[in-house]
Structure 1
Amino acid sequence: MVNIRLTAEEMRYMALLQDLTGAIARDCIVDSENNRVIFLVRPGDAGKAIGRRGANINRLRRLLGKEIEVVEFADDLESLVKNLFAPARILSVRVAQRNGRKILYVTVDPSDKGRAIGKGGRKVSVARIVLKRYYDIDEIKIR
């Protein structure tokens, strides 16, 4: 497993998520560039973190003044990629080394390509941050 250090701010956000929702956060990433916080929650806790009709996420968004992303954590790369790009159907995941860089090739169902990329590339951006942190992946290509 990767050795990750959390800042005091990230730990406060994780505690706030747990207090408000009851969901346990495994990790928290503050993306100041895009004014958002990405929570990786325990498997099975995403629904609890989001809340009925997104109520918990909306409350957190108002409290923090930032966009909130919630992803279920997974121990293996393929499951984590599927969680990051949900609800898009992932057909295959492959990692290749090119010029000393790790490139992740994600094959999605053609009808789900837009869902996988997300509005304005949002899903790919979140996936890039999370996968860089855990698997040192430099680039993501969606096919």
Structure 2
Amino acid sequence: MRVTLSDEARRYIGRFDELTGVTPRDCLVEEDRLVFVVPPGEMHEAIGPGGRTVDRVEAELGRGVQLVEYAETPEAFVANALAPAAVRAVTISEQNDRVAYVEVEPADRGVAIGTDGRTIETARRLAGRHHDVDDVQLT
């Protein structure tokens, strides 16, 4: 699937790459934060020891940064997008729409939803952009 990036997102991706050595696959530009989708296996490098690298990126870019690790399957990708919530299972239903039904630990339901629904909304946007998923719902 092809993801279209704005010029602003491309600039942030370039700067993130300069600061971390990791080239993100995608960037969502939000009012107060940036969400980067990093290649599989490169999350550790993007975060850095003790979180110092991502902290430096936040300071340099003047915004909060959220990282999501890319995955080839929509199930794994949705689970990664909802981290750090403990996801038990993700099922993709293809009735009329393509919907990811996510089962999370009851204690982590709030984490999966996020403040004002931001985490699950980000998961919806990213799943749609990368895996043609129309909706993400918690079960």
Maintained 8 Å contact 2:75/2:92: no
Q: 2:17 is matched with which residue?
A: 18
Maintained 8 Å contact 2:75/2:100: no
Taking the aligned partners of 1:3 and 1:56, their CA distance within structure 2 comes to: 28
- The alpha-carbon deviation at position 97 of structure 1 amounts to 4.7
Q: How many residues align?
A: 139
Matches within 5 A, 1:1-143: 2-31=1-30, 34-97=31-94, 100-143=96-139
- The alpha-carbon deviation at position 7 of structure 1 amounts to 2.7
TM-score normalised according to structure 2 size: 0.84
In structure 1, the gaps of 5 or more residues are none
Letter in 1 for 2:57: L
Q: Which structure has more RCO (C-alpha within 8 Å, separation ≥ 6)? A: 2
Maintained 8 Å contact 1:24/1:45: no
Maintained 8 Å contact 2:40/2:71: yes
Maintained 8 Å contact 1:85/1:123: yes
Residue 28 of structure 1 aligns to a residue whose secondary structure is strand
- Aligned Cα root-mean-square deviation (Å): 2.0
- The alpha-carbon deviation at position 81 of structure 1 amounts to 1.4
